[in-house]
Amino acid sequence: MAAIGAQVQKTGTGDALARARQRAALLPDLLVEARRILNTVNTGWHGRRKSGVGESFWQFRPYTEGEAISRIDWRRSARDDRTYIRDQEWEAAHTVWLWADPSPSMLFKSEQAQASKESRALVMILALAELLSRSGERIGFPGVTDPTSARNGAERLATSLAHAGNLSAKPDLSRIKRFSEVVLVSDFLDPVDETIATLEKLAHSGARAHLIEVYDPAEEDFPYRRRTEFVDPETGSSLTFGRAEDYADGYRRLFFARRAALSDFCKRIGWSYTTNRTDRLASEALVSVHMNMTANVGYQGGAS
Amino acid sequence: MNALPLAFGAPYLLAGLLVLPVIWWLLRVTPPRPVLEIFPPLKILAQLKQKEETPNKSPWWMTLLRLLLAAFIILALSEPVWNPRLETMSGKEPVAIVLDNGWSSNEEWTARKETAERLISDTQSDGALIYIVGTAEKANTDIGPFDANTALERLRALTVRPIPVDRSQAFARLKAVLADTKGTRLAYLNDGVDEPRAAEAIKSLEGSGIASMIWYQPSIASLVAIRQATNNANGLTVRIVRSSIDTSRNVVTVGAFDEKGRRIADTGIAFNAGETAAEGVIAAPYELRNDFHSLRIDGTAQAGATYLIDDNNKRRRVALLSGSEADLSQPLLSPLYYISRALEPFADLLRPRNSELIRAVPELLEQKPSVIIMADIGKLPAETEQTLSDWVNKGGTLIRFAGPRLAGGSEEDPLLPVRLRKGERSLGGALSWKEAQPVASFPSNGPFAGLPTPQDVTVSRQVLADPSSDLFEKSWANLADGTPLVTGETRGRGQLVLFHVTPEATWSNLPISGSFVDMLHRIVSLSSNAGTIAQDSGANSARALPPYLTLNGDGALMPPNQDTKPLITSGSNLSVTFENPPGFYGVEDAMTALNLFKPDSEINPLARPELNFPVTTARYAVDESIPLRGPLFALAAALLALDALAIIWLGGHLRRRLRTTAAASLAILLLPALIAFAPSPAQAQQNDSKPGDQAILDAINVTHLAYVITGDGPTDDISKAGLLGLSKALADSTALEPGDPIGVDPARDELAVYPLIYWPVDADANMPSSEAIAKINAYMQQGGTVLFDTRDQDAAAFNLDNSTTPSTQRLRDILSGLNIPPLEPVPGDHVLTKTFYILQDFPGRYRGSPLWVQASLNEDRRSDRPVRAGDGVSPIIITGNDFAGAWAIDANGAPLLPTIPNDPVQRVHAFRTGINIVMYMLTGNYKSDQVHVPDLLLRLGN
């Protein structure tokens, strides 16, 4: 009887980029909610859905006393009795850090999965990079590239990742400043306490994070039966169960408990937590993350 | 008796079956190998407490599989045998055991004997009387009654005889002995082969006091026998037969063995489906075939599968010799064509590789021909004549055919049965009053007696025998007017035969008639060794041939035993009996083979007749015993393989990767093979040159004129200078530019490369050796031409007493050893007169000597023909005019010798003569055809 899961080769970034482009094409341009307008100095390419300094038309609003007469739009005002002022939209660039878990546990793919977790994570990172750089955001990968704004940000990121060599299993979050957005894609299989400790540091820096948990169907469903020896791809330690099916329920309980803990933590500090099963489409998670990034979630002030 | 007909060779090993529960318990407690799974959330899994510590069980079917495996191995080790034997012979009534011990019993004889032994041992306790009868035994053998011990001895003394069984005789004797006993039980252990009187013989047992019968019949499916072997042109045709119910034995191999039992040839013969007879050919060279002594079918041990071959079956070898060159473009005119066509079907023909008679004859004799046929050879070299004469005296048969050369040959030819008159007789021609003669019926005392008289054969020319007192006895065939057509004489142990006509259809149409084939066949079959019965078969006297070697039951040749009696050869009805088992009869050099099978013999299964007392059919015990050890081991091995597969499957090792690595390793294995079979670079061509090749190449690259080195210095110088002068003249006048003339020694040098050899006859020089004469003879026969020049015209012209000059005498001496055609001076219309220049006179230094050439074939001259038609080129030209002297020039091109009389015109004519001769050599009869060109063009124009 063949094993259900297998360790796979690391995905080439070129291949992942092509697949990421496909995924990104399914989404509209990502408009990141810029919550910290005042503190962001760089003038970006796209409006922030706020009136301010910019080139694009944003709205007409009634003239109020004291405003400069030069701002009155006479053409619009001539249509009726009121006087209107033409507002331009605020346009600014945002810094988004993207990070995909490079640890060996991600290189896992079971029979039911379409792709390995690592491959899926990379695709999602590159798809986001494509979307974000298309809308003028500055994107960076902690430990690999500094945030830069470029039309071909996804290619740059792919190239940098291809040459990056071995990446550390934990992201280097020290350079992340306030008001940045962070997208973390991982399986978050480390003990919950360790993960939350790391995230709390990030929360203290004032950045806003979006966590995407990528997991294999075998990890959730636990389809193993009979006598099975389980091996950890990271540590190499193994565990033998005489009747694996007897352990499925207990395992599943622990698995979901971990997810619930992480999700609760994120919800509490205003971050988003998205899951993606590797036998489902990557686009589903992308749409969800996209919405979370653009939505003006309730929390406005960063970590307290 | 067991309830099951199952016996164990080592029954104590069955105790091993007790171990099975232990094995079962062991198998239950050993867990299968776990499936290895990579599982990233192991840390989560590790938090779970281990619930179950006992390992998983093996699947139940795997346990069963392994238990079965162990059980089969134990069973197989105890050597079980499935062996039903139901019939017994216990009881007080007498028992008669009849065994067929004929030829077909041999292969299973042990089993039959064992069956009979069991029957005897069954009776032992009750003390019944026993009769033992072998159906292939001598008629007066004691058959009982015996007690059990004596019966066993009698049984063990019975052997298989290589003869057919005689059931009627055996049962008649049994009936006679049993006449006054009642309730006898009969066990008939037969061989399953039918014979004509079998049913009748068995039926005769009714009413002889026999109460019951057990009928043992074997399968005869594997019986196969050789029933005939005949020689033909391609090889030895072997006809074999198998038992009619056979379906299994489809292909057999027949091996041929020589006198010493060495295997020298073999062939495979396949039976067609549904046929009981088949034939095949052992293709082997006839020398090998004549060594065949016996044939045997491989894998058999019975007399029917051995076939003995005696001398009568051997093919004769016939050597062919011809006096004229073999013209391949006109096969119908070749003298040997009809002879070889007539003899090919029943004889092996030998042709000499060497064209010189002096070498060809010994070469042929080395191959030990029975017959030598010489077509129109008039003159034999003396040594050859002696060799042939010795050979005839030792038993060879020499057949000669007449022809122009023989007709012109010497009168005292010792290798002719009759003295011949010089010249030939022509019948039915324009100058003859007699019609072409038909052939009279063959004389009854000759070898052709009994052949039908050929009706359509006529003879228009023949050579005539000198009348003598014994001519009548020597005449084997006559013409209607009484002149002999074929004469023959016994010389020593051999024979001389002369056909008074040519072997091709020019003198008579005998060679193209059917009688010719019959006559040759008769003579060739007469040529067989004395002592074989072929020669005696005509005589009615019966001869007794002592046994030489006889077959035993295994089909092997053994010295005869004391029961074997001489074979009486009265007619062709030779039958195999107890006294005359199959084998060789006669003496070593003249053996007659007596074979078990006749050309029409069959092997049919014996049918069980309906009798008026109960008959039980039984089988030979050993026939039926099936050892189960092998199948059980095979079963265990199969289970083991299944188990291994199951383990691999459970362990998860059956992956696709396995398949890809297997393909890769296969490719790696095949790679060296591919490299090994890749075409290797072209090998260096083998150097097969021989010494002297360069000289021959030089001689044929450019046409050279050649002269014979006589050993006399001045003569050879003149020859060389003369041919040089002629070569220059040829180069000046014609398209031919010959190379420098070459001196040859006929005894040593290869002559075939020269078109013309100039031979100045010098009385002072040594007489050419017989070897040289032989080579010259062959050269002329192959189409070369020798120009003899006696250079004695000056002496001959003033010779008043008409005696020959020394040179001419020497020429005659030389020619006496050569096989030369009739000669004539060049006629006025000969093609030699017009090959290049129109000439009527052929002068050299002298003028006046005629130029002799081969006489043209058709002498009837026709004035309207501008030239004589003729085929080929005269092989010999003789002159006395000293051509070379006239042609000879020095280094400056000036003539060396004056012509006599000193006339420049004569020298010019001498050169023209030379040019004409060379042109004649090179173009042949082309010029004679050329004269017809105007006529042909005229016809085309019309």
Looking at the fold, whether B300 and B208 belong to one and the same domain comes out as: no
**CB-based contacts of B857, cutoff 8 Å, min separation 6:** B870, B871
CA A177, CA A202: separation in Å to the nearest integer? 9
Tell me which chain A residues have a C-beta less than 8 angstroms from the C-beta of B46. Answer: 239
Cα nearest neighbour of A246 on chain B = B51
Tokens representing residue B568 in the block: 């009486």
Binary contact (A242, B652; C-beta < 8 A)? no
Tens digits of residue pLDDT in B319-338? 888 766 655 566 777 778 88
Query: According to DSSP H, which parts of B82-232 are helical?
Result: 109-124, 148-157, 167-177, 198-203
Q: Which of residues 5-34 of B touch A (CB under 8 A)?
A: 31-34
**CB-based contacts of B662, cutoff 8 Å, min separation 6:** none
Binary contact (A240, B34; C-beta < 8 A)? yes
Question: For residue A129, is pLDDT > 70?
Answer: yes
Looking at the fold, whether B141 and B171 belong to one and the same domain comes out as: yes
C-alpha B743, offset from chain centre: 46
Tell me which chain A residues have a C-beta less than 8 angstroms from the C-beta of B55. Answer: 227, 242
Residue B508's alpha-carbon distances to B394, B422, B501, in angstroms, are: 33, 19, 7
Order of strands across the sheet with B95-99? Answer: B130-134, B95-99, B184-189, B210-216, B615-618
Looking at the fold, whether B865 and B906 belong to one and the same domain comes out as: yes
Binary contact (B40, A233; C-beta < 8 A)? yes
Strands B251-257 and B294-297: antiparallel
State whether residue A2 sits within 8 Å of chain B by CB.
Answer: yes
> From start to end of B45-121, where are the E strands?
80-82, 95-99
Q: Would you tell me how many other CB atoms lie within 10 Å of the CB of residue B25? A: 10
Cα nearest neighbour of A256 on chain B = B44
State whether residue A224 sits within 8 Å of chain B by CB.
Answer: yes
Number of H-type helices and E-type strands within chain A: 8, 13
A40 band by pLDDT with thresholds 50, 70 and 90: very low
What pLDDT was estimated at residue B857? 59
Tell me which chain A residues have a C-beta less than 8 angstroms from the C-beta of B29. Answer: none
Q: How far is A99 from chain B (nearest CA, A)?
A: 20
State whether residue A228 sits within 8 Å of chain B by CB.
Answer: yes
Looking at the fold, whether B880 and B760 belong to one and the same domain comes out as: yes
Full residue range of the structural domain in which residue B450 is found: 331-531
Domain count for chain B, please give it.
Answer: 5
Tokens representing residue B503 in the block: 């072997």
Place of tokens 């803990």: A261
Mutate to test the interface with A, among B30, B36, B37 (most CBs of A within 10 A): B37
Looking at the fold, whether B740 and B833 belong to one and the same domain comes out as: yes
Q: Would you tell me how many other CB atoms lie within 10 Å of the CB of residue A100? A: 27
| Span A6-13, average pLDDT | 71
Tens digits of residue pLDDT in A167-184? 777 777 777 777 778 888
Q: Domain of B799: which CATH number?
A: 3.40.50.12140
Does residue B789 sit within a domain?
Answer: yes
Considering only A61-65, A140-144, A148-152, A204-208, which range has the smallest mean pLDDT? A148-152
Tens digits of residue pLDDT in A260-272? 998 998 888 888 8
> Higher model confidence: residue A143 or residue B528?
A143
Positive or negative torsion for Cα B878, B882, B886, B889: positive
* Region A5-37+93-294: CATH code: 3.40.50.410
Tokens representing residue B405 in the block: 């050369």
State whether residue B39 sits within 8 Å of chain A by CB.
Answer: yes
What pLDDT was estimated at residue B912? 92
Tokens representing residue B390 in the block: 């010795």
* Burial (CB count within 10 angstroms: exposed 0-12, middle 13-18, buried 19+), residue A193: exposed
Positive or negative torsion for Cα B415, B418, B423, B426: negative
CB A171 within 8 A of CB A142: yes
Q: Domain of B562: which CATH number?
A: 2.60.40
Looking at the fold, whether B521 and B373 belong to one and the same domain comes out as: yes
C-alpha B614, offset from chain centre: 57
Looking at the fold, whether B337 and B199 belong to one and the same domain comes out as: no
Looking at the fold, whether B40 and B122 belong to one and the same domain comes out as: no
Question: For residue A257, is pLDDT > 70?
Answer: yes
CA B361, CA B777: separation in Å to the nearest integer? 14
What pLDDT was estimated at residue A34? 33
Binary contact (A231, B42; C-beta < 8 A)? yes
State whether residue B654 sits within 8 Å of chain A by CB.
Answer: yes
Binary contact (A2, B654; C-beta < 8 A)? yes
Looking at the fold, whether B214 and B247 belong to one and the same domain comes out as: no
Q: Domain of B213: which CATH number?
A: 3.40.50.410
Question: For residue A37, is pLDDT > 60?
Answer: no
What pLDDT was estimated at residue B114? 82
CA B765, CA B792: separation in Å to the nearest integer? 15
CA B631, CA A3: separation in Å to the nearest integer? 39
Tell me which chain A residues have a C-beta less than 8 angstroms from the C-beta of B45. Answer: 230, 239, 247, 251
What pLDDT was estimated at residue A35? 34
C-alpha closest to that of B918 among B762, B729, B778, B751: B729
Strands B371-375 and B397-401: parallel
Looking at the fold, whether B832 and B773 belong to one and the same domain comes out as: yes
Cα nearest neighbour of A189 on chain B = B41
Does residue B491 sit within a domain?
Answer: yes
Looking at the fold, whether B865 and B766 belong to one and the same domain comes out as: yes
C-alpha closest to that of B520 among B332, B316, B368: B316
Pick B37's closest partner by Cβ from A216, A231, A255: A231
Report residues of chain B scoring pLDDT below 50: 1-3, 53-55, 529-541, 656, 677-685, 869
Binary contact (A228, B54; C-beta < 8 A)? no
**Domain locations along chain A:** 5-37+93-294, 47-91
ipTM of the complex: 0.70
Tell me which chain A residues have a C-beta less than 8 angstroms from the C-beta of B655. Answer: 2
* Burial (CB count within 10 angstroms: exposed 0-12, middle 13-18, buried 19+), residue A124: buried
Does residue B733 sit within a domain?
Answer: yes
Q: How far is B655 from chain A (nearest CA, A)?
A: 8
Binary contact (A191, B38; C-beta < 8 A)? no
Tell me which chain B residues have a C-beta less than 8 angstroms from the C-beta of A101. Answer: none
Does residue B677 sit within a domain?
Answer: no
Tell me which chain A residues have a C-beta less than 8 angstroms from the C-beta of B40. Answer: 105-106, 108, 117, 187, 189, 216, 219, 232-234
What pLDDT was estimated at residue B725? 92
* Dihedral, B788, B791, B793, B799 alpha carbons, nearest 10: -100
**CB-based contacts of A250, cutoff 8 Å, min separation 6:** B48
Binary contact (B45, A2; C-beta < 8 A)? no
3-state secondary structure of B85: coil
Looking at the fold, whether B283 and B345 belong to one and the same domain comes out as: no
Q: How far is A227 from chain B (nearest CA, A)?
A: 5
What pLDDT was estimated at residue A14? 65
State whether residue A60 sits within 8 Å of chain B by CB.
Answer: no
CB B873 within 8 A of CB B921: yes
Buried b (16+ CB within 10 A) or exposed e, B426-457: ebeeeeeeeebbebbebbeebbbeebeebeeb
Radius of gyration of chain A (CA): 23
In single-letter form, the type of residue at position A47 comes to G
C-alpha closest to that of A247 among A229, A220, A225: A225
State whether residue A3 sits within 8 Å of chain B by CB.
Answer: yes
Q: How far is A262 from chain B (nearest CA, A)?
A: 15
Tens digits of residue pLDDT in A19-34? 776 666 555 444 343 3
